[in-house]
Structure 1
Amino acid sequence: MMAFTRILKVSAALVLVLAIFGAGYFWGLRSKNGSPFASGRSTSAETKDTRGMENMPGMEGMAPGTVMVSPDKQQLLGVRTASVEKRPMTRIVRTVGTITYDETKLTRVHSKSEGWVEKLYVNYTGKLVEKGQPLFSIYSPDLLATQMEYLLALKNQAQFASSSIPEVKAGAASLVEASKKRLMLWDISEKQIRDLGERGEPQKTLTLYAPHSGFVIKKDVNEGMKIMPDRELYTIADLSTVWVNMDVYESEIPSIGVGQRATISLSYYPEQVFTGKVSYVYPYLDEKTRTIKVRLEFPNPGFRLKPDMYVNAEIKIDSGRHLAVPEEAVLDSGLRKIVFLDKGDGHFEPKEVKLGAKMDGFYQILSGLKEGEKVAASSVFLLDSESRLSEAMGAMAGMPGMEEMKMDAPAKQGPLEKKVQNLTITLSTQPAKPKAGENILRLKITDQTGKPVKDAQVSFQYTMTMQGMVPSKTEAKLSKDGFYEAKTNLAMVGEWEVTVVVRRSGQKEVQEKFKVVTHSEETK
């Protein structure tokens, strides 16, 4: 009979464990009304979900999965709440960009006639030139012949100025105008043509001038060189404005538009932020990086921004006011997004929500919550665990024979002792039966003669063996009664793994693991 009872208890324990793991499956099947089971169940089936909980104080009318957390336990777990409210939603797209030339302000200089360079006035790359500044002078037989044609036309015009035949006077004038236009087509200025007429003599060489102000970024001409019209002699860049090209992911493109404010910063100008705007979004995608190029435009007084510099670029996107909750309040299971709605009196109800964009640490709420409601904004993972356990226990409550089952009480916590490297280390807690919450871990170290060791450095690392829980660490201090003590927060009921680290000068470091079982304060 005793063997049968033991088997029954072990089976019940296994069922409990399977039910807890199965709660995750139930959670994934949660329908829109909050039930973990498939839609279409009868009201009686939904009632069975919470069987075993209906008589708990304050649980009447609560949705499945609702957990009750006392104020003391909320403080212990670090649960805080946040209001669901409308707030200005701003999003910042950050990336690295590269400064480049404003292509609309690049000028390429050619000679429109074949000839030889007699004199070079701008003879190195990087020089800043002003509009109208001499670049080079050229000897060109074609230009020389055109000058002579122009002078001959002027002479004919003067000769027939007193003619009584209007057609002759008009013909002479039109010949002068045609010769002048031919010179202008070769980039000879009005002043140069006027000087040619006043001088009455053709010039062997003519000077070509800079058509715009800017920096010479390319030079492909030298004195004595024969040049052809198709040869690019200079490239001049106006750096009064510059472009910044940045690559953004395709998912961010819908939020970016021409005219939006943009800023850049550089590590070598840490005190300054440069402000510009989005000037163009390119219409094609880089298939390898899955990014789209966005062009920014910035004024550049003082020419501090130089092409090919790397910059940190930001575009601030203002999306208006929207209903939002902190991102810490959302539990993302992959298929569903869940928040825990504060129903008051320590009750938290899991609620599925539909999310919009995430901006400034907040998620936009599209549906599932109303303005003014409150949600848990921290320790959501712990509330989720409590909720799944609650549902699993509720599902088990109706199983045949479960109402008669009683689980054995856990063994009492006593001192834990280990021997290592001629040392005896004994771990104990204060209180002797550790509770969920604040406890004192105490370590006594004695040598092989039984004498207390007081020259060690001791630290404790403690964690529960569950996914996602990061170990906490604390340093111990030697007390007057010879114990190394440290305050710890063993926040939840269950088995904790405590790693003791002992360091002594000139000795090998000691690391030993202990199991400490915490209990609820109600457990006697």
Structure 2
Amino acid sequence: MTLNSLQRSQLAAAFAAVTLVAGAGGYYLASSRGAVPAAGGNVSRKPLYYYDPMVPQEHYDNPNSLSSMGMGTVPKYADDDGASTTPGVKVDPSSMQNLGIRLASATNGTLAGSLDVTGAIDFNQRDVAIVQARAAGFIQRIYGRAPGDVIRAGAPIADVLVPEWGGAQGEYEAVRKTGDQALIAAARQRLRLIGIPGGATGGRGTTTIRSPIGGVITTLDARAGVTLAPGQTLAQVNGLGTVWLNAAVPEVRATDVRVGQPATAELAGFPGERFTGRVIAVLPTAQADSRTLTVRIELANRDGRLRPGMFATVHLGDTSRSALLVPSEAVIRTGKRTLVMLADGKGRFRPAEVRIGREASGQTEILAGLVAGEKVVASGQFLLDSEASLTGIAARPISGDAK
């Protein structure tokens, strides 16, 4: 963009209003040329050099010099009055409005906001039943089941013939006829030990293996005629009364999530509906590719509409918390560090390094570097920061004195 002569003059006048104070012997930017009376008496001060505020790195000895921008130069003075020992950029109060400088205070308040993320429905891995054969035998009958079938509690999986059970049951029947209660009790106990459900005495070695819970069959290995070994798995059933919603939360928001926190989910398949639940776990490992944490939410699923694999938008309750806040526009991010421009109330400004947290509703959380009540520049801070950088003013470190 090319500036015309009037725009250049106006911008130069704005820069000329900024005054730099560097310790007790700081430098002042003024709008007049030549020597002027010192602040403390009638002794004239001699300019150090002349320069164009638009290109402050160029120094001239002649007050009538023109800069490379074609603009007239202004004097740079050495301040010998020792009025201040604090480094900073000083601006005449009457010029602050022209420069667009607006101040704001660092205040303790509530950082409002919510955390909206995405997630996927999964089985509740705590509601799982493993259906096994308790003894060696043979599958005589299956019931037409297949993986993915939804079954009720007690639904039959397979009929199994266990030869060992037939012999034990025959012995039990013979002992029972003797009327000896001690022997009968011992025989019944043997039935239980070899795996006959409840020590049953009927069936002569044949038993029906049933699912102990209702849900969906996730694996099924029961096939007619198959020989079974003791403890061999016939099926795995996942309950559907509750499901897990695994939400991906950015690791930078890890502090906003806690176990027991309420959550709601919205699914595209059920527009206008919200499913409520709570956070039951924050998994201990992060996803390296997406830099997210997995937050596990338990949702009720009494009607079975929530199906594993569905995607959902997750609202993780109210994440508001108390914090030290400044306007977000006051924060200067340089890439290597984060700064604000401090104001001392007397027209002097100095950069200060800060560590920031979450941002919401135009407010940024300050974790370190400021205390409540300190004034920061909310508008015009980039002009002041540029002047401070050009003249070598060091930023107040985070561990520095707040005064």
Q: TM-score scaled to structure 1, two decimals?
A: 0.52
Q: Indicate conservation of the 8 Å contact 1:113/1:228, yes or no.
A: yes
Contact 1:356 1:366 in 2 (8 A): yes
Would you say how many aligned residue pairs link Structure 1 and Structure 2? 329
- Alignment RMSD (CA, Å): 4.2
Alignment deviations for residues 61-91 of structure 1 (CA, whole Å, 9 cap, x no partner): 89732445769757xx6x7665543222246
**Secondary structure of 1:103 counterpart:** coil
Aligned to 1:151: 173
1:385 is paired with a residue whose SS is: helix
User: What is the letter of the counterpart of residue 335 of structure 1?
Assistant: R
Q: Which amino acid aligns with 1:385?
A: L
Structure 1 residues 313 and 63, CA gap change in structure 2 (3 angstroms): same
CA 1:291 to 1:320, structure 2 compared with 1: closer, same or farther past 3 Å? closer
Deviations 1:452-499 (CA, angstroms, capped at 9, x unpaired): xxxxxxxxxxxxxxxxxxxxxxxxxxxxxxxxxxxxxxxxxxxxxxxx
Which residue is 1:253 aligned to?
254
Matches within 5 A, 1:72-471: 73=98, 84-90=106-112, 92-121=114-143, 123-156=145-178, 158=179, 160=180, 169-170=181-182, 172-182=183-193, 185-186=195-196, 188-189=197-198, 193=200, 196=202, 202-203=203-204, 205-287=206-288, 289-316=290-317, 318=319, 320-333=321-334, 334-339=336-341, 341=343, 343=345, 349-352=349-352, 354-361=354-361, 362-366=363-367, 371=372, 375-377=376-378, 380=379, 382-385=380-383, 388=386
Which one has a larger percent helix, Structure 1 or Structure 2? 1
Contact 2:115–2:316, Cα closer than 8 Å, also in 1: yes
Assess if the C-alpha contact under 8 Å between 1:35 and 1:64 holds in 2: yes
1:6-17 aligned at under 5 Å gives the runs: none
Structure 1 stretches lacking a partner, 5+ long = 1-12, 24-33, 161-168, 197-201, 396-524
Paired AA for residue 188 in structure 2? E
Per-residue displacement from partner, 1:39-68 (whole Å, max 9, x unpaired)? xx5x1x22x24566999xxxx989732445
Deviation at 1:96, TM superposition (A): 3.0
Distance 2:174 2:342 in 1: 96
One-letter amino acid of the structure 2 residue matched with residue 304 of structure 1: R
Q: CA deviation at 1:238?
A: 0.7
SS, match of residue 235 in structure 1: strand
Q: Aligned-pair distance for 1:342?
A: 9.2
Q: 1:80 to 1:219 in 2, by over 3 A?
A: farther
Instruction: Write the distance in 1 (CA, Å) between the matches of 2:385 and 2:128.
Output: 66
Residue type of the partner of 1:124? Answer: A
Shift of 1:213: 2.0
Q: Is the 8 A contact 2:342 2:374 kept in 1?
A: no
- 1:203 is paired with a residue whose SS is coil
Deviations 1:343-400 (A, max 9, x none): 49xx6845525234123242223456554666554xx3x442266459979x9xxxxx
| Kept after mapping to 1: 8 A contact 2:165/2:204 | no
Identity %: 23
Structure number with bigger Rg: 1
How far does the alpha carbon of each residue in 1:114-167 deviate from its partner, in whole angstroms, 9 at most, with x for none?
Answer: 3333332352333332322333222221222222122222223x2x4xxxxxxx
1:355–1:363 contact (8 Å) kept in structure 2: no
Letter in 2 for 1:284: T
